[in-house]
Amino acid sequence: MRISQLAETTGVPVATIKYYLREGLVPEGERTNATQARYGEEHVQRLRLIRALLTAGGLSIAAARDVLRHLEAPHDSVGEVLSVAQASVTPAAPEGIDLSRARAVVDGLGWQIDPDAVDALASLEAAIDGLEAAGFELPEGALDGYAEAMATVAQAEIDGIPADSVEAAVHYVVLGTVLVEPLLLALRRLAQQDASWRRFGG
Amino acid sequence: MRISQLAETTGVPVATIKYYLREGLVPEGERTNATQARYGEEHVQRLRLIRALLTAGGLSIAAARDVLRHLEAPHDSVGEVLSVAQASVTPAAPEGIDLSRARAVVDGLGWQIDPDAVDALASLEAAIDGLEAAGFELPEGALDGYAEAMATVAQAEIDGIPADSVEAAVHYVVLGTVLVEPLLLALRRLAQQDASWRRFGG
């Protein structure tokens, strides 16, 4: 199909598609002459994926490109997929950040984490900083409660990684990491409404 | 203290403080003459809170102003605090959005939600859309698992609402809603590393 049909099929304007092509998010079509190219089903799929990463996933263009690169790169084992996926969607740790509180939390929980994955640790440190800076004290035991809930979630997610195909595993982990976040946060808010209703009434 | 000392104490540049003053995020100081004002401990606290909301909470200036307004407004009951807090930190539902899938999920879970709180429902709908648009199918039972984990989290959070003071309740709910999100997401990633390590090895 031509670029105009690709735009019509996906609902992504031609100008936006051209922008994604320039940014390397979408592979070039098959040239039919000097000014035209032909696009196929893989372009439709790719555009849908990009829209999902940018809107539902809330990623920047640069982060989306990183994710797509990781989806395409060859990977050796299912086990390494997770750290690669996390690296592509976790903001880089600021230089020289003190991670001692985040490390203390993780050690206290007895979690075995990737020693090279300081970015996720930095996200935890930043979250703890944010609570403290705002003068918000978590109630006694709340942090352990959050950790336990997330451990249950993570265990199910890791158990769900397709182990028969590295490619399927990459797809599952990269997209699951990004796209499940808004799902979890939306469910939390709705669950709060339910719990509030049961405690305080309608 | 003068604005320069306020900047030094909080690490927020003078120009930024002036911007927050203009935007109504920080209350005016006590005028000492035509060009100077005096600031106190409440300004220090307020600036720390704003920084936390903008950085750790990831809020826009407009959303932060909404949150601060809700923190200051009088509230009648602890029970109404949650919906007010959620309204201030949840993006408004797009006009005419079809919420049928989100409603089906909530009904399936048997959750009793605030009938006016369509914004949280719209966030769930958007998250489901995002997964579908990316061609990501949640494994069988995964959605129920996420919902169950978030119900546990929410139950503990609602149980933790200070019931003796509406003001304390507002503070707890508004900040807890925003600032705990990055904490949960960071913990999920670290918990995934731990689960991955136990399944696949280091």
**Residue percentage of chain B with pLDDT more than 70:** 99
Determine the residue type at A18: K
Q: Is A64 on the interface with B (CB under 8 A)?
A: no
The predicted pLDDT at position B143 comes to: 94
pLDDT in tens, A40-72: 999 998 898 888 888 877 788 888 888 888 777
- Residues from chain B that touch A44, judged by Cβ atoms under 8 A, are none
Nearest-angstrom CA–CA distance, B22 and B154: 36
Q: Are strands B30-31 and B37-38 parallel, antiparallel or unpaired?
A: antiparallel
The predicted pLDDT at position A96 comes to: 85
Which residue in the set A113, A126, A160 is minimally distant from B193, CB to CB?
Answer: A113
Q: Say whether pLDDT at B165 is over 90.
A: no
The H or E element spanning position B189 is helix B166-200
Query: Is there a contact between A120 and B186 if contact means CB atoms under 8 Å apart?
Result: yes
Q: pTM for the whole thing?
A: 0.83
Shortest Cα distance from A67 to chain B (angstroms)? 13
Query: Is there a contact between B131 and A52 if contact means CB atoms under 8 Å apart?
Result: yes
Region of A162 please: left (phi>0), alpha (psi -120 to 50) or beta. beta
Query: Is there a contact between B193 and A114 if contact means CB atoms under 8 Å apart?
Result: yes
pLDDT in tens, A145-171: 999 999 999 999 999 888 777 777 877
Largest CA distance in chain B: 68
* Mean pLDDT across A94-113: 93
pLDDT in tens, B54-96: 887 778 888 888 888 877 777 777 777 777 777 777 778 888 8
- Residues from chain B that touch A152, judged by Cβ atoms under 8 A, are 145, 148-149
What's the DSSP call for residue A58? -
| Beta-carbon contacts of residue A156 (< 8 Å; ≥ 6 apart) | B142, B145
pLDDT bin (cut points 50, 70, 90) of residue B167 is confident
Nearest-angstrom CA–CA distance, A31 and A47: 19
Residue in chain A lying closest to B200 (CA): A79
- Residues from chain B that touch A195, judged by Cβ atoms under 8 A, are 151, 154-155, 157-159
Residue with tokens 């978590």: A138
Q: Is A76 on the interface with B (CB under 8 A)?
A: no
| Beta-carbon contacts of residue B63 (< 8 Å; ≥ 6 apart) | B53, B88, B89
CB contacts < 8 A (A, B): 291
Q: Say whether pLDDT at B12 is over 90.
A: yes
Query: Is there a contact between B192 and A130 if contact means CB atoms under 8 Å apart?
Result: no
Shortest Cα distance from B32 to chain A (angstroms)? 29
Q: Say whether pLDDT at A108 is over 80.
A: yes
B positions 4-43 inside 8 Å of A (CB):
none
Query: Is there a contact between A179 and B136 if contact means CB atoms under 8 Å apart?
Result: yes
Contact at 8 Å (CB) between B157 and B151? no
Shortest Cα distance from A34 to chain B (angstroms)? 32
